[in-house]
Amino acid sequence: MDLAQTYELWRQLMTQGDAEWWQTLFVRFYQAFIEGDRWRQYLQGVGITLVATAVALAIGVVLGVLVAMIRTAHDQQRPGRPKNPVLGVVNAICKVCVTVIRGTPMLVQVLIMGMVIFASSRNYTFVGALTLGINSGAYVAEIIRGGLMSLDPGQMEAGRSLGLNYIDTMRFIVIPQAFKAILPSLGNEFIVLLKDTSMISVIGGQELVYFAKNIVNRTFDAMFPLVGAAVIYLILVMIFTWLQGKLERRLRQSDRR
Amino acid sequence: MIDVKHLSKSFGDNLVLDDISEHIAPGEKVVIIGPSGSGKSTFLRCLNLLETPTKGTITFDGMEITDPKADIDKIRQQMGMVFQHFNLFPNMTIRRNITLAPVRTKLMGQEEADDTATALLKRVGLEEKADAYPSQLSGGQKQRIAIVRALAMKPKVMLFDEPTSALDPEMVGAVLDVMKELANEGMTMVVVTHEMGSAREVGSRVLFMDGGHIMEQNTPQEFFDHPQNPRTQSFLSKVL
Ligand SMILES: Nc1ncnc2c1ncn2[C@@H]1O[C@H](COP(=O)(O)OP(=O)(O)O)[C@@H](O)[C@H]1O
Ligand SMILES: [Mg+2]
């Protein structure tokens, strides 16, 4: 007797009120994951979740680098010389954006982006990833600024004293070293983003939670789809944490060369 | 070569250099000594604008470098600087440490820079370290590389800020030898040091700084044998 037949049998027992508790559990599990090949939907959700995370992190890193560069360039202008007014204005804008982003809940930001700014969008998953990316940019900018500032100022001085300009010194000396220092924090940011993509479902973006909730609505049974989604997130986070640890050990080894 | 006029520098309310005027002629080897916190490093760092003077002017080779419109990168290409803590770039091989600046500033092509690096490394006896990373070198080796890195830019002046004070005693000699050789070749040098021996050997003139002023200056011979200022006398009695 195969699974499908067992399911049919026990489901009938259930409707008659004659099923044992473990038969009920099996039926609910079957409905949540197997009936109509629903596991495919979870898999699809995982795929979209991972892509949305990667897109959000990419946007976050690009914005973060941009904001960090503007803010450090602004702070490192030589005293005594006239300040660059364009840099001053751009820096002020960056500061305001960072304050707003860090000062409001992510969930509210996702709702505003999905229901106000891009209310007529047809791709809410992307709108959500974009929101997460912008949000992440504010945090990544601080991570990068921290990395740049943690570096011995003697490195910048040595580069400049050789006659290298600011950009070359940043490009060849400061950024490669800062990058190594911030990789662990970027890894953490990726994991935070991975979990936060679940918020995209509130504006109808299709990712893991969206599909899980769909199945809840079909089967009128919340436990297995939601606990299943939680377990999937947990497994993903554990995999990425493990990868991150491996990467960090690699980096530490290359320091000792 | 370097002309300093009424140079003052404050950090906030802290007046570190107080109206210093000084001339450094081509080929001179000026050694600056003085108690810790007297402003020696700040003075040296003002010379290549790692610190921006609060007041006064500095002229180098006829260019006023304190002019806001001066091309600071071009000027620094002609002034080598050696730091107490070497400040080698840990993310690059020794060869790239040396060739990066000459190549990026278009002073040389990569090939010429590589040849220059090889020749300079040979000169300080470290040619086999070309492909090593800074973390694989001892302090004395790092400092010799730092000197060579500055020399690769073919500077007209070399500034040294306590080049031997972060070194184990047995490594000081090799670094001093490189500096002496450089001095003998006629390089213009400004050296901040706490090592009276090297001040005597390398210097053609000794400046004594205290409290942001140059209190006394003389030839090394006269300076160490017949110090005039009471502050100099008490400083020398403590360190000699
Ligand atoms: N970047 C800085 N910011 C604030 N104060 C500084 C800075 N650099 C040096 N100083 C102060 O300037 C004074 C002189 O320092 P420095 O030139 O390094 O002395 P020295 O090299 O003779 O020991 C010290 O009191 C020091 O605390
Ligand atoms: Mg000093």
Burial (CB < 10 A; 0-12, 13-18, 19+), residue A86, is: exposed
Please indicate whether, in this complex, the C-beta atoms of A165 and B50 are within 8 angstroms of each other. no
Give the residue from B239, B150, B236 showing the smallest Cα distance to B191.
B150
**Which is more confident, A204 or B103?**
B103
Query: Rounded to the nearest 10 degrees, how much is the dihedral formed by the CA atoms of A209, A213, A218, A220?
Result: 130
Please indicate whether, in this complex, the C-beta atoms of B104 and A176 are within 8 angstroms of each other. no
**Confidence (pLDDT) at A250:** 83
For residue B226, report the phi and psi dihedrals to the nearest 5 degrees.
-135, 65
**Whether A199 contacts A128, CB under 8 Å:** yes
Average pLDDT of span A190-202? 94
**Whether B91 contacts A177, CB under 8 Å:** yes
Give the residue from B225, B209, B191 showing the smallest Cα distance to B24.
B191
Please indicate whether, in this complex, the C-beta atoms of B87 and A257 are within 8 angstroms of each other. no
Residues in B closer than 8 angstroms to A158, CB to CB, are 81, 83, 87-89
Start-end of H helices in B105-163: 110-123, 139-151
Helix/strand/coil for B210:
strand
**Confidence (pLDDT) at B239:** 84
**Whether A169 contacts A156, CB under 8 Å:** yes
**Confidence (pLDDT) at B197:** 86
Token representation of residue B163: 């080049």
Relative to the CA of B12, which ligand 1 atom is closest? Answer: 4
Relative to the CA of B162, which ligand 1 atom is closest? Answer: 21
Token representation of residue A64: 């973060």
Distance CA B11, CA A249 (A): 42
pLDDT, tens digit, 9 for 90 and up, residues A2-19:
889 999 999 999 989 888
Give the residue from B181, B180, B185, B216 showing the smallest Cα distance to B201.
B180
Quick check: A257 pLDDT over 70?
Answer: no
**Confidence (pLDDT) at A80:** 60
Kindly state the percentage of chain A with pLDDT values over 70.
96
**Confidence (pLDDT) at A254:** 64
The 10 Å Cβ neighbour count of residue A88 is: 12
Ligand 1 neighbour B11 (Cβ under 6 A)? yes
Token representation of residue B200: 């005597």
Token representation of residue B127: 């040619």
Quick check: A90 pLDDT over 80?
Answer: yes
C-alpha distance from residue A19 to each of A23, A33, B76 (Å): 6, 20, 86
What do you get for the CA distance between the two ends of chain B, in Å?
Answer: 32
Residues in A closer than 8 angstroms to B87, CB to CB, are 152, 154-155, 157-158
CA angle A37, A38, A41 (to 5 degrees): 120
Quick check: A29 pLDDT over 80?
Answer: yes
Which of the following CATH numbers is that of domain A41-256: 1.10.3720.10, 3.40.50.10800, 3.30.420.480, 3.60.10.10? Answer: 1.10.3720.10
Domain residue spans of chain A = 41-256
Token representation of residue B30: 């000026």
Token representation of residue A43: 């898999």
Sheet holding B55-60, edge to edge: B14-24, B2-11, B55-60, B63-64
Q: What is the pTM of this model?
A: 0.81
CB under 8 Å to A59, separation ≥6 — which residues? A129, A130, A132, A133, A134, A136, A137
Give the residue from B64, B59, B56 showing the smallest Cα distance to B18.
B56
Ligand 1 neighbour B37 (Cβ under 6 A)? yes
* Chain centroid, CA A97 distance in Å: 19
Query: Rounded to the nearest 10 degrees, how much is the dihedral formed by the CA atoms of A128, A234, A209, A14?
Result: 180
Residue type for B200, please?
R
**Whether B43 contacts B20, CB under 8 Å:** yes
Sheet holding B79-82, edge to edge: B79-82, B157-161, B188-192, B29-33, B205-210, B213-218
**Mean pLDDT, chain A, integer:** 90
Length of chain B in terms of residues written: 240
Start-end of H helices in A34-120: 39-75, 85-103, 106-112
Residues lower than pLDDT 70 in chain B: none
Give the residue from B7, B187, B184 showing the smallest Cα distance to B79.
B187
Give the closest of B54, B135, B153 to A162, CB-based: B153
Q: How confident is the model at residue A81 (pLDDT cuts 50, 70, 90)?
A: low
Q: How confident is the model at residue A107 (pLDDT cuts 50, 70, 90)?
A: very high
**Confidence (pLDDT) at A149:** 86
Ligand 1 neighbour B42 (Cβ under 6 A)? yes
Which range among A50-64, A79-93, A100-114, B188-202 shows the weakest confidence by mean pLDDT? A79-93
Average pLDDT of span A112-139? 93
**Whether A229 contacts A194, CB under 8 Å:** no
